[in-house]
Amino acid sequence: MLPLEPLQDRSTITRLLKGAAAPEVRSELDRLAGLSLDGHGQAALGFAKGALALREGALDAAIADLSAAAGAFERLGEKQARLLSRCEAILAEVRRGPRAVFANAIAELSAIGREGSDDARVVAVATHYAATATRMSGDAVGTAKMLLAALEAAENLLDERAKILNSLGTLYVVMGAFGAAESVLEHAAELHHQLGDAVGEAIANGQLGAAAMGMGDLERARRCLQKQEWLSSRVGDTFGRARALTFLADVAIDLGRPDDALTFAKMARELASSTSPPLRMWIAYATRAAGRAMIDLGDGGAGTELVAARELFSAIGNPLGSALTEWDLARLAARSGGEVPHVSGERPVAASWSKAAWSLASLGLAPRVAQLLRDQRQALLESGASPELPRASEAALGAVSQLAPHLASLHEVEMIYDAPDELSTIASRRTAAQRNLGRLAALSIIETGLYMAVIASKSIGGGGRALPPARASAALAGEVPGFCVWVWPA
């Protein structure tokens, strides 16, 4: 029995949860609450309330309602409904965080998949949500394997396939496989539209916007993100709206419209702050977007916003947000004589181009390092420095600027269908290579000097490069059979 099945003959709540405005869904929930429902109906009503709370980003309420529904279905002996309700509750827990909950969530979802191994829907949902937790913990290759397994389990479940394709597209965006992401997400968006699932369609369009940004197509990104914002607004999806508005702010900045960007950023922050608990990650990203816009507007409050964003990212444990904000602070400091202006009466805040570059490189974001080096070079020239000074990073800038992900798009699309496992492996290797290239570029502006280590091993110089792992704060500078050289900041 599906969790909402007991209400099927008395309500359209399943359809409403997919695409109706929040007030309409609440009206139907209130109507159902006034009926004399049996135990199954009451359990289904609790699940529906939790599903709406999850859609709106009210994660505490979602966890409580969905967990209660799982308990009710267990008392009624309804195995499928119990397991699916528990899966949704765990998804809410993963979205709420913190990172410490991910490992337990993956373990419990894996156990649910084993318990419901004779039920394709339970296996698909449990594996899908375990993949979500795995992605948020930073394991891209493991996520890809789980999502492909979930997709196989959902072969005859069109609604679940559409949701899994959303997650697969999201993963490809994170991995920089933008061509693959675009192909998968266009298919997902069409499926969601056919199924009347506005929430899923909004997610697909949002990630299509992110993929378009990755390929440099800002107008397409703007259109996709506007559609996500419209769909999310229609159904009351606060998480989706906050995300879309934050990305729209970034697009507006890149299009030279900081005034629009500041408006979008403030709207996103207000929305993200309105939920219980607040959506801290989107508050942080919206605050950063506001600070970026204020830099371009010449607003003296930019430093306050950016320092607040950096503190939020640090508290959340988001290394990408921290690195991006360090970059923003370096830009602001360059315009202010070397330091960020006084923030809330405190001492000036130091900012470092090299620290931001190294952090971005360590995340495998070499194209971002290229952008940073360009910003740093321009800042040096605007400060009146000799043209010889920025020349140290000129070659590095030229190298990392060659990374144009859209050139590999066609091949990635073919591999989605012919060799999805190999696509994940290639994307992972590319991330490692880009991390190393980005780190080498970042080293060109390190102020503190370098350490160097020569490593000897019979395995060096074989089929693969002796690249330092992600957690090792070093870069491969050279390699010959039997030896390699690693360097890192002093």
Give the pLDDT confidence of 111-121 residue by residue, as tens digits. 999 999 999 99
pLDDT of 104 strictly over 50: yes
Give the residue with greater pLDDT, 21 vs 87.
87
Residue 298 to residues 240, 264, 293, 335, 380: CA-CA distances in angstroms? 30, 18, 9, 10, 19
The residue-averaged pLDDT of 280-288 equals: 95
Q: What is the pLDDT of residue 251?
A: 96
pLDDT of 301 strictly over 50: yes
User: CA-to-CA distance for 440 and 404, rounded, in angstroms?
Assistant: 18
Beta partners for residue 452, in sequence order: 487
Percent of the chain with pLDDT over 70: 86
Q: What is the pLDDT of residue 398?
A: 52
Q: What is the pLDDT of residue 354?
A: 85
Tell me the torsion sign for CA atoms 70, 76, 77, 80.
Answer: negative
Q: What is the pLDDT of residue 269?
A: 98
pLDDT of 303 strictly over 70: yes
Q: What is the pLDDT of residue 347?
A: 54
- This prediction has a pTM of 0.75
pLDDT of 463 strictly over 60: no
Give the residue with greater pLDDT, 218 vs 437.
218
Residue 470 CB coordination number (10 Å): 13
Q: How confident is the model at residue 319 (pLDDT cuts 50, 70, 90)?
A: confident
**Per-residue pLDDT tens over the stretch 36-89:** 999 999 999 999 999 999 988 889 999 999 999 999 999 999 999 999 999 999
User: CA-to-CA distance for 395 and 152, rounded, in angstroms?
Assistant: 46
Give the residue with greater pLDDT, 436 vs 309.
309
Q: What integer best gives the mean pLDDT of the chain?
A: 87
What is the 3 state secondary structure string of 71-95? HHHHHCCCHHHHHHHHHHHHHHHHH
Q: What is the pLDDT of residue 407?
A: 40
Q: The tokens 């207000």 sit on which residue?
A: 270
Q: What is the pLDDT of residue 389?
A: 53
The residue-averaged pLDDT of 422-429 equals: 69
Work out the burial of residue 186: count CB atoms within 10 Å of its CB; fewer than 13 is exposed, 13-18 middle, 19 or more buried: middle
Q: How confident is the model at residue 436 (pLDDT cuts 50, 70, 90)?
A: confident
The residue-averaged pLDDT of 160-172 equals: 95
Q: How confident is the model at residue 223 (pLDDT cuts 50, 70, 90)?
A: very high
Q: What is the pLDDT of residue 444?
A: 82
**Per-residue pLDDT tens over the stretch 361-404:** 887 777 778 778 878 877 877 776 665 555 555 555 555 555 54
- Return the amino acid letter for 58: A
Q: What is the pLDDT of residue 344?
A: 52
User: Which among 435, 57, 459 has a CA at the least distance from the CA of 278?
Assistant: 57
Identity of the highest mean pLDDT range in 137-151, 290-304, 366-380: 290-304
Q: Would you say 192 and 237 are in contact if contact means Cβ atoms under 8 Å apart?
A: no
Crossing angle of helices 158-175 and 198-214, rounded to 10°: 20
**Per-residue pLDDT tens over the stretch 253-262:** 999 999 999 9
Give the residue with greater pLDDT, 330 vs 46.
46
Q: What is the pLDDT of residue 456?
A: 82
Tell me the torsion sign for CA atoms 221, 129, 411, 400.
Answer: positive
Crossing angle of helices 353-362 and 319-335, rounded to 10°: 160
The residue-averaged pLDDT of 169-184 equals: 88
